Amino acid sequence: MKAAGRGRRLERNQTAVEYYFAPMEGVTGAIYRAAHHRYFPGADRYYMPFLTPTRDHVFTPRELRNAAPEYNRGIPCVPQVLTKNSGDFCWAARALFDMGYEEVNLNLGCPSGTVVSKGKGAGMLADPEGLDRFLDEIFAGVEGKISLKTRLGLESPEEFPRLLEIFGKYPVSLLIIHPRVRRDFYREPVRLEEFGRALELYRGPVCYNGGLVTAEDCARIQGCFPQADRLMIGQGLLANPALIRQIKGGGPPEREELRAFHDQLLHSYLEAFGSPRSTIFHMKELWTYLSRLFQGAEKPLKGIRKAEQMAPYQSAVDAMFRLPIREDAAWERRLFEL
């Protein structure tokens, strides 16, 4: 696929399309969102990594540092809740609406073994009747917009039509579809045919999510599925924080802004954690994605991964920033071919 070049407008008129930053637990917390919004504004919403309410109905200090409004001022954020208990969901959603959020998202997609074995996340898709009861209780119990982020099923996309029938019974403000089943985790190609079929069956607002890495990917998905006028991007944006700007016809990522973005993240994590070790640990996860923008990144990336102290970390980062920067992040295996 060829890149959309600097300042060149994509052919389709995409003004009506909205672009959302996907929630990514451990990566896109409040500090990340603030830095991204400052240096690469343009995301219409940031979906927050999930909160997991417990029976005692208090958010932990760590959860509040992600979700409390004072950490998200001026940034369009949507909190996400992961639970199978409708009472706990209602409590969390009410608390979040009281904080001023306009929408709360329910996680029906997390594939992790520990989550699914407890019947949460994608595990909720295994029991459609239970899910129906849960939705009935939360839509009756809470006033405010509730959106869903779902996979196509647990084992097979054949599960999806029944699930869509259930979703269609409720005033779901947005159905975000990640067209994989739980068994696919994030490895297998996304299932675009099944996504297309879902659009025929479901009448409410839909957002597509999965495998979008370049501006051209987004244009192609839009060309195939114009009804899905919202696109959610996760790993593609971690790798290329300027991707939404490029999609909208703006320029590719520049060295100086990437460096400033990196430095703000580093300093904010250092301030928040008070420890170079955990700061570097956090930055390493980011670099697994961001390094895809740099040509010949293997050597400095190795240096970053090895670093445990600030001095070697900084010198590996300096080496990274001396490399040529790509217009599009490199991806060894395309997640879809259209």
Chain residues 288-317 in contact with ligand FMN, contact rule CB under 6 A: none
Measured CA to CA, the distance from residue 196 to residue 42 in angstroms comes to 27
CB-wise, 103 or 259, nearer to ligand FMN? Answer: 103
CB-wise, 85 or 112, nearer to ligand FMN? Answer: 112
Q: Which residues contact 52 (CB under 8 A, 6 or more apart)?
A: 81, 82, 83
CB-wise, 211 or 300, nearer to ligand FMN? Answer: 211
Measured CA to CA, the distance from residue 123 to residue 131 in angstroms comes to 10
Identify which range of 16-24, 38-46, 155-163, 262-270 contacts ligand FMN by CB under 6 A: 16-24
Strands (E), the chain: 18-21, 45-51, 77-81, 103-108, 145-150, 175-177, 206-209, 230-233
Closest approach, Cβ 205 to ligand FMN, in A, equals 17
* Binding mask of the shown chain, residues 208 to 247, with x at each position contacting ligand FMN by CB under 6 A: -xxxx--------------------xxxx-----------
Measured CA to CA, the distance from residue 255 to residue 174 in angstroms comes to 36
Q: How far is CA 222 from CA 167, 179, 205, 208, in A?
A: 23, 15, 14, 9
CB-wise, 42 or 312, nearer to ligand FMN? Answer: 42
Measured CA to CA, the distance from residue 298 to residue 269 in angstroms comes to 25
Q: Provide the β-strand partners of residue 18.
A: 230
Looking at residue 183, the DSSP 8-state letter turns out to be G
Closest approach, Cβ 312 to ligand FMN, in A, equals 25
CB-wise, 24 or 317, nearer to ligand FMN? Answer: 24
Q: Which two tokens stand for residue 176?
A: 């975000």
Q: Give the rounded distance of the alpha carbon of 41 from its chain centre.
A: 16
Closest approach, Cβ 210 to ligand FMN, in A, equals 5
CB-wise, 149 or 245, nearer to ligand FMN? Answer: 149
Does position 29 bind ligand FMN by CB under 6 A?
A: no
Q: Provide the β-strand partners of residue 202.
A: none
Does position 18 bind ligand FMN by CB under 6 A?
A: no
Number of residues that bind ligand FMN (CB under 6 A): 23
Indicate which single residue of 29, 53, 109, 153 sits in contact with ligand FMN (rule: CB under 6 A): 109
Does position 89 bind ligand FMN by CB under 6 A?
A: no
Does position 185 bind ligand FMN by CB under 6 A?
A: no
Identify which range of 22-30, 36-44, 64-72, 153-161 contacts ligand FMN by CB under 6 A: 22-30
User: How many other CB atoms are there within 10 angstroms of residue 68's CB atom?
Assistant: 14
Indicate which single residue of 17, 23, 206, 241 sits in contact with ligand FMN (rule: CB under 6 A): 23
Helices 310-321 and 298-306: angle between axes, nearest 10 degrees: 170
Closest approach, Cβ 326 to ligand FMN, in A, equals 18
What is the three-class DSSP state of 232? Answer: strand
Chain residues 125-184 in contact with ligand FMN, contact rule CB under 6 A: 149, 178
Measured CA to CA, the distance from residue 219 to residue 246 in angstroms comes to 11
Nearest to residue 75, comparing CAs of 114, 29, 109, 118? 29
Indicate which single residue of 8, 143, 186, 200 sits in contact with ligand FMN (rule: CB under 6 A): 186
CB-wise, 24 or 307, nearer to ligand FMN? Answer: 24
CB-wise, 23 or 153, nearer to ligand FMN? Answer: 23
Place of tokens 């990522």: 253
Q: Which residue is nearest to ligand FMN (CB)?
A: 234
Residues at the site binding ligand FMN, with contacts judged by CB under 6 A: 22-27, 49-50, 80, 107, 109-110, 149, 178, 186, 209-212, 233-236
